[in-house]
Amino acid sequence: MSGVSELEKIFSFLELELSSDGLRFFFNIKKCYERDLTLFRDFIIDYLNLQTDNVISTNDDLYKCFVKYYSQISLFQDEDEFLEQFARYAKYYIMLSYEYIKNDDFKHWISIINAYRGKVAYPFLMELLDDFENGRITKEDLNQMALMVVNLLRNSKLEESELRKEFAHLGLRVNKMLSSKDREGQIEKVS
């Protein structure tokens, strides 16, 4: 089944699941990708790879994976939280794909990553952008990690699917590290 028809199934599913305001918000996100639904499909795949710690290839049943994820996440996250996060990551994906980045150093690294066909690193890079925008890492950290991605892409002998998996896992590991660092900071404040 083609990726675009898988997207149509996802859209139909969300029409049943989201409120009218939520659906309107979702379709506004989709408008950012209107000229390239394949890019939107790629974003959803990478978003799910990051959020689920799995590797979904373009050949997998994207619709089933999305429904499973949404069903699980909706148990502990309300619609607004889901859509807000989804919108942020959709924005990051566009920034990476089209190199719409204000930080000149980071933009330089993204340009090199894109030249290496480094979309496999997008789950990790979306997580870095989120951490940077939310003040969990500095500009220097962001640039150093982008340089690390360039070096990994340049020197890796792994297949694309393995690289995709490694970058998705790397994003989760950074989150866990930052989360434990936040908890340590909170414990120090209490002491």
Sign of CA dihedral 166, 170, 171, 175: positive
**Exposure on the CB side of residue 145, measured as CA atoms within 13 A:** 20
> Domain residues of the chain, as ranges?
1-76, 99-191
pLDDT band at residue 160, thresholds of 50, 70 and 90? confident
133-159 pLDDT tens trace: 999 999 999 999 999 999 989 988 888
Other CB atoms within 10 Å distance of the CB of residue 136: 18
Specify the pTM: 0.87
Instruction: Quote the pLDDT of residue 85.
Output: 96
Q: What is the pLDDT of residues 67-109, one digit of tens each?
A: 999 999 999 999 999 999 999 999 999 999 999 999 999 999 9
